[in-house]
Chains A and B, each alone.
Chain A
Amino acid sequence: MKHLSDAELQAYLDREASISREEMEAHLHACAHCRSNLAAYRRLYGGLKDETGFLLSANFADAVAARIEKRGERKADLLELSLIVTALISGLAAVLYFFDPGAVFKNLLQQGVAGISGLMRGIPLLQGSSLHILLFTAAILALVGILDKMIFQFRQR
C-alpha cells in the first residue's frame, strides 16, 4: 500500500481542488501511519493560526499618531528656518540693490561724523522723488508681512 505523500496531505488540509478527498479519506481510514502524519499536520496548521502573543499595546494608534505629529513639527521647524534665511537674504539683497554701499563708505570716510548727509547721498533713490521712498518701504513691509503670515500658518498646522 502506497502511503499518502506530504504534498497530498498538505493539499488535503489546504483544501486544494486538485486532489480526490474521497480516495484520501478511504486510505486514511485504513492506515494508522498516514493518520498520525495527518494529525501532526493538523496540529501544525492549528498552531500556525494561533495568534497568542501577537499583541500590540492598547495605545498603539496613539503612539503612531504622536510620532507622525512630531515628524510634522520637525518639518515645519525646518521650513520656518528656511523662510527666515530667505527673508534675511532678500532683505540684504534689497539693501544692496537700493543702496550704494561703496558710495556710503566713501562719503563716511571723506566727511567723518558729519557724513550723515553723505549717508543720505549714498542712497541715490532718496535723492530722487519721494515716490521711490514710499515704494521701497512698501516693498519691504509687504515682504515681511507675507513671510510672517506663512510662518504663522505653518505653526498652526
Chain B
Amino acid sequence: MQAEKELIDKIVAGDAQAFRVLVENYQRLVCHVVFRMVANEADREELCQEVFVKIYQHLKNFNFQSKLSTWIARIAYNTCINYLKKKKAPLYDDLAGTEADSPGDRAVSFIESVPGELPLPDEFAVNREIRLFLHEAISELPPQYRAILTLYHLDEMSYKEIGEIINLPEGTVKSYLFRARKLLKERMLEKYSAEELLP
C-alpha cells in the first residue's frame, strides 16, 4: 500500500518510468476484464491502451478510498461498457435469454464436425475441446456476468470488491455468480458425459 502510494506520487509528479511500472503491474487485470467483455479481437488491445490513458489522466484524483486494483478494474469495466453501448451490443440481457439459444451454437457444431472415424482423441485434445466449448459458452453470457466470473476466478477478488467495480450490491454479485456458474455447468453436462468431465 505504501509502495503503491509512492508509485502514484511519482507518476503524478511526471515520472514516466513509474507509470510504466504501474502498467506492467496491472496490465493482466485490465486485459482480463477487456478481453472477457469485448469479443472483437481487433479492438481489444486498443481498448486496453485507452484504459491506461484514462488511468494516467485521473490518477491524481485517486484518493485511496478503495484499493488501486479495484479502481483500475472499474475504469476498465466502464470503458468496456461504453464501448459495448456504442457498438449497440445488448448489455442487460437476462440469463434466461442465453439459455434458450443453446441448441445449434457454434461450439457444438465445431465439436460435431470432428470426423468420427479418427482414433480416440487423446486427453489433451479432449481438454482442449472442453476448454473451447466453455470459452464459447462464457462468451454468450451478458457482459456483467462475464466480468463477475473473470474478476472472481482470474483475479481472485471478493464479492465486495466486484460490487464496487460493477456498481452492484454484494448480494447481487453473489447471486449472479451462482447463476452463471450453474448455467455453465448445465451446458457442460448437456454436452459431455460425467466420464469425459473427470480429470
Q: Do A42 and B199 touch (CB < 8 A)? A: yes
Which of the residues A41, A63, A68 comes within 8 Å of B56, measured between beta carbons? A68
Q: Do A64 and B52 touch (CB < 8 A)? A: yes
Which of the 9-residue segments A48-56, A99-107, A121-129, A141-149 touches chain B? A48-56
Which residues of A lie under 8 Å from residue B194 when comparing CB positions?
32, 35-36, 39-40
Interface residues on A, range: 20 to 34
Q: How many residues of B contact A (CB 8 A)?
A: 39
Q: Do B197 and A36 touch (CB < 8 A)? A: yes
Which of the 9-residue segments B84-92, B163-171, B177-185 touches chain A? B177-185
Q: A39-B197, A44-B188, A48-B154 in contact; A10/B181 too (CB < 8 A)?
A: yes
Query: Which of B16, B135, B198 has the largest number of chain A CB atoms within 10 A?
Result: B198
For chain A, residues 3 to 45, give those with C-beta under 8 angstroms from any C-beta of chain B.
Answer: 6-7, 10, 32, 35-37, 39-45
Counting CB contacts under 8 A, is A97 at the interface? no
Q: Do B45 and A57 touch (CB < 8 A)? A: yes
Counting CB contacts under 8 A, is B49 at the interface? yes
Q: Which residue of A lies closest to B51 (CB)?
A: A64
Q: Do B185 and A44 touch (CB < 8 A)? A: yes
How far is the CB of B128 from the nearest CB of chain A, in Å? 9
Counting CB contacts under 8 A, is B117 at the interface? no
Q: Do B131 and A52 touch (CB < 8 A)? A: yes
The chain B residues found within 8 Å of chain A, CB to CB, are 16, 19-20, 23-24, 27-28, 31-32, 35-36, 45, 48-49, 52-53, 56, 130-131, 134-135, 138, 149-150, 152-154, 178, 181-182, 184-185, 188-189, 192, 194, 197-199
Which residues of B lie under 8 Å from residue A56 when comparing CB positions?
27, 31, 45, 48
Instruction: State in angstroms the CA–CA spacing of A64 and B198 once bound together.
Output: 43
Cβ contacts A136-155/B at 8 Å (1 or 0 each): 00000000000000000000
Q: Which residue of A lies closest to B150 (CB)?
A: A48
How far is the CB of A73 from the nearest CB of chain B, in Å? 13
Q: Which residue of B lies closest to A49 (CB)?
A: B153
Q: A39-B194, A42-B199, A71-B53 in contact; A65/B16 too (CB < 8 A)?
A: yes
